[in-house]
Every structure is written in C-alpha cells, then in structure tokens.
Amino acid sequence: MKLKDLLQSVDILELHADAEMEICAVSSDTRENFEPGTLFVALSGFAFDGNRFIPMAVQKGAVAVVTAKKPEMDIPYILVENDRVALARIGSNFYGHPSKAMTMIGVTGTNGKTSVTWLLKQLLQKVTGQKVGLIGTMENHIGDEVLSTDRTTPESIQLQRLFARMRDANCKYAVMEVSSHAIALHRVEGIRFQVGAFTNLTEDHLDFHNTMEHYGATKAQLFDRCDKAVVNTDCPWGQRMVADKNIPVICTSVDGCGDLMAKNVVYNRDGLDFTAVYGEKSAAVHVPIPGKFTAYNVLTVLGIALQLGISLEDAAAALADVKGVKGRVEVVPTPGKPYTVLIDYAHTPDGLENVLTAVRGFCKGRLIAVFGCGGDRDRKKRPIMGAIGVRLADLAVITSDNPRTEEPTAIIDDIVAGLGDAKNYVVNVNRKKAIHYAMEIGKKDDIIVLAGKGHETYQEVNGVKYHMDEREIVAEYLEK
C-alpha cells in the first residue's frame, strides 16, 4: 500500500517522506519482527518513549517513521499532531477498515465487562447462528478460535489486525471490552459501535485517571462513537454516560426503575431466576451463575440484544444454558472435602463486595476470603478493600496479589490500615501458603473465596511473571 493511502484522515503537520513509497507492514513495537518496507509509528508512552527506539526500528528495516517529535536521526518521517490517533487511523487504513464489515458492540465499566461480553457472544451465536468475535481481558476469540491476550483492549494496530482476521473469518459480530485506558489512549479511534453498553463505575485506575470525575468522563467518551446505548441506571454514573449524546438508550435496573428491569429475582448457589420486563413485554430468565451482579450483567446483555433487534423472549431463552466465565465465581473441585472453594477475579472494592455479598447469600458455614491488592496500581483502594473483607467475611486471609514492582509487605500494610479494630483476619504474604491455610482450617459448609486472580495463571513479582494457577494450588493441597 502506498504511504499516501495509509495517511488518509491522519492529521499531518509535516511530510518528509515520499508519499508514493510502498509500505508492506505497520508496527509500533520494535520487539516484533519487521517485514521489509515497514512503517514504524513511534508512540510517546508513559514508561517508554517510542522515539527512543527509532534507531532500532531502522536497523530492523523500517523505511519511514510516523512521530509527534522530529527524529534525531536522518530518516524519512511524517510529523503528526497525535501519534496514537495516527496509529489507529493508519491501522484502519492498512487493514481496509475491517470494523465496518461487522456489527460492533463495545462494553465499558469498572466491573462486569468480561462477563457481559462472554454471555453476549454465546447469546448471539445461539440466536443468530453467526460467527462472533470477542476481544477482552481473558482472551480473544475469532469464532471458536481462542487467542491469548495481555491487556483488556489491545493497542490500536493489533486491534485492527484482529478485526481483519475476524472479518476474513466471516465474523458478523465483534463484541469487545473497552477499557478507560483504551479510550484515553485512542486505541478505539475510528471505530463506530452499533451498540455501546455501560455496566458500572467504582473506584479503580485512579493511578491513571487521578479522579473519579476524569475516570467517568473518559468512559462516557465511548458513547460519542455509538449509534445506540444500554446503561445501568442503578449506578449513579449511568445517566451521565449518555447525557447529551442524542442516541436511543435502554436504561436497566434491578433495584430501581428503568426501561428494562429484573423483577421477582431469586438468588441461589446454582444461579438466579427473574422476570425481565421491557415495556409491555416480559420473559422468564434463568442463568446458571449466582449473584446479584449476575442480574446486572444479564440485564445489560438483554438490553444489547434488544438494541440489535433480537426479541426479549429469544434472548432470554438463549441464556438458559450459558457457560460461566473462567475465574468468575468459578467452583474449584475439592473431592472429599466438606467445604467449597471459589475463584473470582474481584480486584476492586466493588468487585470484592459484590462477590462476598453474593456468596454470603448462600453460605451455610463460614465465609473465608483470601485476597490482596495489586502493586503499582491505585493505592487508595487498598484500605477500602481491607475493610470490606473483614466486614463481609468471617475470616479475611490477607495476602499478595500481583505485587509487580512494589514490596508485597508494603501493599499488605496499606490493606491492614483499613481494618480498624477488626480481629477476624490473618496475614500471610505468600499467596500459595495463604490458600493452603484457608483450606487447612476449612470446615463443613464453609466457602473459601480466592479473590483477585480469577482467570490469571501467573503472579507478577519485581516485574517478572511466575506461573501460579490457583486451581493447581488447590489440587496440590488435596494431593498432599
């Protein structure tokens, strides 16, 4: 593809390259293998400045550079106003605008994004019989093909590459989680969503956004690029997401009043049942995933289905035998033991409160919560999560999550600072030993919740990821 075609819709300040130059590949990461004729886009990052890697990119075969800073070396370059916006638009041009070939659905919010997208993918496949692509925290899907991922929303060039693969595989829908980072860093630039959905907003990522106001305002930007919306208006941020957007909106509610509501909700350890009410229409809903948060997630899924023209009855019927999400209220086999072990990704105050409240609703014995907080992330939530743990659990076992580059004991000290005079907790910095301790003291009808890791099968310490699968830790204890 000629450079001039790649630069369509890119805001160019200066062009110091041959517009007729043939470009065979686009990259923003010098760790990738470069093809001859690669265009390198130098991103002005937070931890690393991509402009530092221009010499390496040239050495690997880059023939031109897109940058927001004039390169220090002699190379053909294109000076742009915003390098991240440029990367997104170049990527879309290079892959032939693949998102336009599919019905795009974006889901944002602090908690619930993964569950909503996973449930929606299953619903769409059952109701429409079409192939569905999925992009999310746990993994990416092209129909039934599963691809690994290391972030909720990939960098824009990788995202466009994924869309192209989905389009070429004849996916008719693409369902994706849209993180606040992805919005702020322009990863979804140029994508038009037929439906956008908002789950909730609670404290998280304030290390990046600084304030809840900025966090919420960033999430709301998703709806500037949506044709229709579904928002949870039991969350006080719900209405603010779509204020002045002038698009059709379905408001969902479990506790209050909305366009789409859950009535007569019955919670049990095997799932939940409720009546979905939308105007004059209603449908019985059963989902084999427990918890009040599941009711909210399911309403969001039903709302999206309605916005896509699927009937309430058909959508509800498709949810009856869906599979739950790995690491979300996941039951771990404990043969021969009188207690239950659950794994959940809850790593925010709201997430921890939701899962512990849900489990408390069907726990006949003691509720034991094993949790920590991630390093190099919002420190303000640590004492809050500590307070939630000792309030809702009979025993809180406070341990490490992903300390990353922080000292694990320092993170735990921040958690303990929120416990006040509570006595119902113990500290064990070693997560494996903490899990084994909880199982050692487990009694009949107790439920042990391992919170924070969920689908993750690693622990990051000093910037290095070590294998750690909590399912294996549980099995190891049982074998001994």
pLDDT tens readout for residues 88-125: 999 999 999 999 999 999 999 988 999 999 999 999 99
Domain of 414, CATH number, reads: 3.90.190.20
pLDDT band for 379, please (50, 70, 90 cuts): very high
pLDDT for 46:
65
- Asked if residue 220 and residue 187 are part of one domain, the reply reads yes
Residues of the domain holding 461: 330-479
Amino acid at 203: E
Domain shared by 88 and 106, yes or no: no
- CATH number of the domain encompassing residue 50: 3.40.1390.10
Decide which of 68, 94, 120 is a domain's last residue: 94
Examine the domain organization and report whether 147 and 286 are in the same domain: yes
- Give per-residue pLDDT as tens, 298-341: 999 999 999 999 999 999 999 998 988 888 888 899 999 999 99
Query: Could you tell me what percent of the chain has a pLDDT over 70?
Result: 98
Residue ranges in 7-155 assigned as alpha helix (H): 54-60, 83-94, 113-128
Kindly state the tokens that stand for 118: 């996973």
Same domain? For 464 and 355 the reply is yes
* Model pLDDT for residues 414-443, shown as the tens digit of each residue: 999 999 999 999 999 999 999 999 999 999
CA-based radius of gyration for the chain: 24
**SS3 per-residue string spanning 67-84:** ECCCCCCCCCEEEECCHH
The answer to whether position 312 is within a domain reads yes
388-414 pLDDT tens trace: 999 999 999 999 999 999 999 999 999
Query: Are 63 and 117 members of one domain?
Result: no
Please tell me whether residue 261 adopts helix, strand or coil conformation.
strand
Residue 209 — pLDDT band, cuts 50, 70, 90? low
Residue type, position 31, single letter: R
pLDDT at 94: 97
Strand partners, 174: 104, 133
Instruction: Look over the chain and give the mean of its residue pLDDT values, rounded to a whole number.
Output: 94
* Ramachandran region, residue 106 (left: φ > 0; alpha: ψ -120 to 50; beta: rest): beta
Instruction: Among 293, 318, 343, identify where a domain stops.
Output: 318
How far apart are alpha carbons 295 and 253 in whole angstroms? 9
**How many Å apart are CA 58 and CA 40, to the nearest integer?**
8
Domain match, 422 and 473 both: yes
Q: Are 414 and 307 within one domain?
A: no
CA angle 195, 91, 24 (to 5 degrees): 150
